[in-house]
Every structure is written in structure tokens, then in C-alpha cells.
Amino acid sequence: MGDFVIDVIVVGAGPTGLMLAAELRLQGVRVLVLERDAEPSPVVRSLGLHARSIEIMDQRGLLERFLEHGTRHPLGGFFAGIPKPAPDRMDTAHGYVLGIPQTLTEQLLSAHALEVGAEIRRGCEVVALSQDADGVTVETTAGERLRARYLVGADGGRSTVRRLLGIGFPGEPAKVETLLGEMRLTADWEEIVAVMTEVRRTQLRFGAMPLGDGVYRVVVPADGVAEDRAVPPTLDDVRRQLVATAGTDFGAHSPRWLSRFGDGTRLADTFRSGRAFLAGDAAHTHPPAGGQGLNLGVQDAFNLGWKLAAAVRGRAPAGLLDTYEAERRPVAADVLDNTRAQMELMSLEPGAQAVRRLVTELMDIDGVSRLLTEKIIGTAVRYDLGAGHPLVGTRLKDIGLKERRLYSLLHEGRGLLLDQTGGLSVAGWADRVDHVVDVSEELDVPAVLLRPDGHVAWAGDDRQALLAALPRWFGSA
């Protein structure tokens, strides 16, 4: 470990940073999370977890905690708010959306990160950083100089880390803006439902969701785009836009918090600069259509964590760290594209409405509906890992084995050889890859080698091909 007291500094204690910190700690990496804000944000931008993120929580033994605090909702109606049911027999054991506010998701991930030994410092802002061949040095507003082997910026769309690294963030600025917040409404629920039913026939960026005790989550189109979206709207701004959109402000008062978001899309030129990486909104921003943002960031962290840990422990094969950008940047670009498309379909312009009617008809075709749904829930991601069995590069759902389920074997974040033949071996890699001999009626291939993120690195029964795959992903024997 040399002179380093910290192996990895993670900047940002949102869901992405917290998930990454926990993944690193599972591998024994010493990690410090630095968060600018002294207290967790009360702003609820994300309302739930999609299937792939639910699978990730299940893979790490966290799902029961989330299920305890969340509500299961049926799949469907995600793509541009087009009210279609999900296709039958989705390729996941978790065919639902888990409704859970971002504040609770952050609480649960923070508790998990602390349990496995991460250190989180709040009220600590990074103001400068430099790096050399051996590590990264950061300076904070408290005058501290901290040094680590690697650094990850998970500090949001206005990322300080990205700016200090000089990484470009090209894209399209916001053309429309939406106000949101939590506040009390004096109007009765029947009136609110009647108004929403009428307004949402055309304007999907409008709604009021009851949270209990007279408090509602309110979403309404803004009047233009603010020069600085970091400045929250006022209650008067929200009331004025409610009247303009719905003809009533519902007696809105006593806001808990107010915020705004736009429809701009941006993608970092690179997700890596030397020993520094970007993840989550620091690497990509997009409209919230389909509720993909938090999920995309958590999935970034799940991809990067085990790779960065292997590098810290001196086990990373050549090029492993470069696969983070190679695998995740195309996924982010696809999300940017599908959110752009959804925003176009939600426009009130006649041409956009005509296209929306056409897409609505097309979604009656199972293949179309399945494609669009899988884009949103994240289960269609297939990394390009080269030639091989069709399973290679995909993530494997939680299949049933003879006496257990697959994901119960992945809680420690190690690799896994699931061997239905009993004739294979991970000798030489047993310290980082588990070998389980078991059978499943849901798996029609003799064996699969899973990376710590659950994606298939090899499938078949060819021993020589297995011996080539093991060092490619897990380093030398």
C-alpha cells in the first residue's frame, strides 16, 4: 500500500458516490467520501429504482432494506408517459418499479457504506486537485491536503472535479424548464384529480402527487429557462405557473423545498483523466424522462468499483480501468438519446404530437414495447466483450438454482464461476473468484463466468477459453 493512507477519494455523497464507496470497501479498499454539503439534501429528484438497479441491490444483499421502505409498482407507461402495459415475461426476476424517494435511497446507501467501513466527511468541499504518476492530491476549503491513489468525481452535473480536470462537457442547453417541490395544498383531492386529468391530456410535465398530511409533490412547467438553475424558484413562481397551466394554484403554501430542472443533455468528453474518473451526473446529464438518472449513476458505480479495487490491490490486468469508459459511455449516450426522444414526444407541437400518436400505435407491437421498456429499466445493456456465446456481455438475471438463487452468491462482490458440469476449475483465482457447482433449469449453457457486476465474461464448457477469460478480467493467477 506504500505511503497512502487513502486508496480512493470519492467526491460526492449522492447515490453514485455512496454506492461506489461501498463497492470499494467490499474489496478492502480504503475509501474517503468528501461531500460539499453539511447535511443530506431534502430535494427528492428521483422517485424510484428500475429493474437493473433493483437487481444490483439484490446482488449485494441490500434489497430487503429497500423493499421495506419502498412500494412496488407495475412496469409500463415509462416511455414518454405513453400509457402502455409492460410486455409479458420480462428478462428479470424483478419485474416492477420500486417507488422510493431519493432521500431514502441515499440514507440506505449511506448506512451500507458506513457499515462496510467507508469514511464520509460532510461539509468538505474540494477546491483544487493535481495528479502525478502515483496518485492524486486534493485541497479542500478547510485547508486540508489529501492524497490518494485514485479519485472519482461523483459530484453532480455542475461537477467541480470535472472542471478541475479540464474535461469538456459538450451538449445541448436546456430549451424548457420544469419547477418542482413539496408543499401543502388546500384544495381537496377530488378537485386536484379533476384538474390533473384534464391538463395531463396534453401537458405531461404537470402533476400533484399526495405525500400525506396535506403535503404534495408538485411539478409544473416554468415560464422560460432560468439563467442559473442552481437558484431555486420561489413559491410565488410556482403558484404563478400553476395558475398559467391549470387555472388554479390549489392554494399552495408552506413549501418544504423548491427546485427546477431543464431538458439539456451533456456528455463528458472522457470519463477518465489519468488517475481520476467521473461517474453519475458528473459524466452525463439528461432530462428526467423515464426516471433514469439516479439508476444510471448507481450502475456506473457498480461497473467501476470492482475494477478500481483490482487496480488498488495490484490485480488489475492491463486495460481493465479503460473498460469503464468503453462500457459505460455508450450506455450513457443511449440514455441521452432516449430522453431526447421522450422530450420530443412530450412536446405540444403538432408535429411532435403526430409522432407521439404513431409511436403509441407502434408500442402495441411486442418487440417495440419490449425494446423501449428495456431501455428505461436498464436490463438490455450488453457490453461489447468480443466474440463468444450470445450471453457474453449481458447481465444474468437472478435465476433459481437447485437450493438457492444466483444473486445470493454475489453478495461479497467477487467473481463467480457457475458450473453445471462439475468439471471446471478456478484454481489460481480462488482468492477472487468463487466456484459453485449447481444446476438451473433457467440456464441453457454448461457454465458461466460472472464478473463482480454480474455481467457474463465467458460461457460454455471450453476449458481453454475459460483459462483465457479468467486473467482478462481477474488478473494473473
* Residue pLDDT tens, the chain, 477 long: 346 899 999 999 999 999 999 999 999 999 999 999 999 988 888 889 999 999 999 999 999 999 999 999 988 878 998 989 989 889 999 999 999 999 999 999 999 999 999 999 999 999 999 999 999 999 999 899 999 999 999 999 999 999 999 999 999 999 999 999 999 999 999 999 999 999 998 898 999 999 988 999 999 999 999 888 778 999 999 999 999 999 999 999 999 999 998 889 999 999 999 999 999 999 999 998 889 999 999 999 999 999 999 999 999 999 999 999 999 999 999 999 999 999 999 998 999 999 999 999 999 999 999 999 999 999 999 999 998 899 999 999 999 999 899 999 999 999 999 999 999 999 999 999 999 999 999 999 999 999 999 999 999 999 999 999 999 999 999
Question: Which domains are assigned to the chain?
Answer: 6-170+266-377 (3.50.50.60), 177-262 (3.30.70.2450), 406-474 (3.40.30.120)
| 106's grid cell | 441515499
Measured over all CA atoms, what is the biggest interatomic distance in the chain, rounded to whole angstroms? 71
Angle at 61 between CA 415 and CA 432, to 5 degrees: 20
Q: Which residues pair with 111 in a beta bridge?
A: none
Rounded-to-5 percentages of helix, strand, coil across the chain: 35, 25, 40
CA–CA dist 456, 396 (Å, integer): 7
In terms of Cα–Cα distance, which of 242, 115, 148 is closest to 187?
A: 242
CA–CA dist 410, 76 (Å, integer): 29
Q: How many CA atoms lie within 13 A of 315 on its CB side?
A: 19
- Using the Cα atoms of residue 464, residue 465, residue 470 and residue 471 in order, give the sign of their dihedral: positive
pLDDT value at residue 366:
93
Write down how long the chain is. 477
Using CA atoms, how far residue 286 sits from 14, 59, 297, 339, in Å, is 17, 27, 12, 7
pLDDT value at residue 229:
75
Angle between the N-to-C axes of helices 366-377 and 322-345, in degrees from 0 to 180, rounded to the nearest 10: 120
pLDDT value at residue 2:
46
In terms of Cα–Cα distance, which of 407, 399, 295, 297 is closest to 62?
A: 407
pLDDT value at residue 3:
67
